[in-house]
Amino acid sequence: MSSLKQIRLAQKVLSGRRESFSNSRVLAKDIERCERSIVTLQAELEAVNKKHQGRRTTREDIAYLTDLLACANRKLTWEKHMASLQKRTPAILDEINSVRTDPNSPPPEETDAQMLQACRGCRPRWNGCRASNPNNQVMTPFRYSHRVTMPNGTMGNHIYYAPVPGFVGSGARRTLRQSGKPLLVWQGEGVIFPVIECRLRYRYPARYDDVLAIDTWLTVLHGVRMTFSYRISNQENQLVLEGEPPMFAPV
């Protein structure tokens, strides 16, 4: 006759198996959703590039950047889902394997077969989903490096705040160049880019001779406004600065 303690232990084991199996099914559905999303995104990106071939006017360039930005925003959503899966997938697969190989309470053959099938279905699809990341196909953050020099510094061996907007502005100009149309070309067509807003959040001091990684990316393209977001980190990957705009109003 089983004791109350043994019954509770058996109930706990059974509950753990059910939870693991449920987690594996949810994981499989999430991976499938990411697969569909990236296939759709790649198809949309190809359609955008095909649609906007042979651009000749500034209006056509803006239309292309608008469509490209829509793809980039969908890619950011996909990347958030992938980041969540990146954290959950190994833990869930390890959990299932631990339940299957538990020497003290091995699962019934039918349950074991279901868990094994779940593992075999999730792992290759997860690897395939990661391999499908179109990092170089959609507008992604543009990065360039800057070494902090003496003129950038101030007393206390940290960077003076005033040069920072220049770093960010340089990133915005380089991002435009990466998009296929440098700032000089826009200016040659009579378009200028006055900055109408800039927000800075200083997180950590940058010091003399630090090598800063400056990431800039286009986040909003609406009407006559272009909004760039950015972040700056040092060689130890510490976040130095982040923020929204500068916001440009091409006129």
Q: What's the pLDDT tens digit per position in 22-70?
A: 777 777 788 888 888 888 888 888 888 888 887 778 778 778 888 887 8
Q: Are the CB atoms for 248 and 195 separated by under 8 Å?
A: yes
Please tell me which residue, 15 or 238, carries the higher pLDDT value: 238
- Give the total residue count for the chain: 251
Average pLDDT over residues 225-234: 82
- Tell me yes or no: is domain 142-248 CATH 2.40.50.100: no
Residue 107 tokens read as 């699962």
What gap in Å lies between CA 100 and CA 115, rounded to an integer?
A: 8
What is the model's pLDDT at position 136? 41
What is the model's pLDDT at position 249? 46
2-6, 111-115, 206-210: least confident range: 2-6
What is the model's pLDDT at position 30? 83
Q: Are the CB atoms for 185 and 199 separated by under 8 Å?
A: no
Q: What's the pLDDT tens digit per position in 106-129?
A: 777 777 777 667 666 666 666 666
- In which band, very low, low, confident or very high, does the pLDDT at 244 lie, cut at 50, 70 and 90? low
Beta strands in the chain (DSSP E): 142-147, 153-154, 158-159, 195-197, 201-202, 211-222, 225-233, 239-243, 247-248
Say which amino acid occupies 11: Q
Q: Are the CB atoms for 179 and 232 separated by under 8 Å?
A: no
Average pLDDT over residues 165-180: 78
Q: Which H, E and C letters describe 91-154, residue by residue? A: HHHHHHHHHHCCCCCCCCHHHHHHHHHHHHHHHHHHHHHHHCCCCCCCCCCEEEEEECCHHHEE
Q: What is the mean pLDDT of the chain?
A: 75
- In which band, very low, low, confident or very high, does the pLDDT at 235 lie, cut at 50, 70 and 90? very high
What is the model's pLDDT at position 127? 62
**Domain extents in the chain:** 4-131, 142-248
What gap in Å lies between CA 119 and CA 94, rounded to an integer?
A: 9
- In which band, very low, low, confident or very high, does the pLDDT at 1 lie, cut at 50, 70 and 90? very low
What is the model's pLDDT at position 190? 78
What is the model's pLDDT at position 25? 77
The answer to whether the predicted template modeling score (pTM) of the entire model surpasses 0.75 is: no
What is the model's pLDDT at position 211? 92
What is the model's pLDDT at position 101? 74
* Residue at token pair 């296929």: 180
pLDDT at residue 137 greater than cutoff 70: no
Residue 15 tokens read as 């509950």
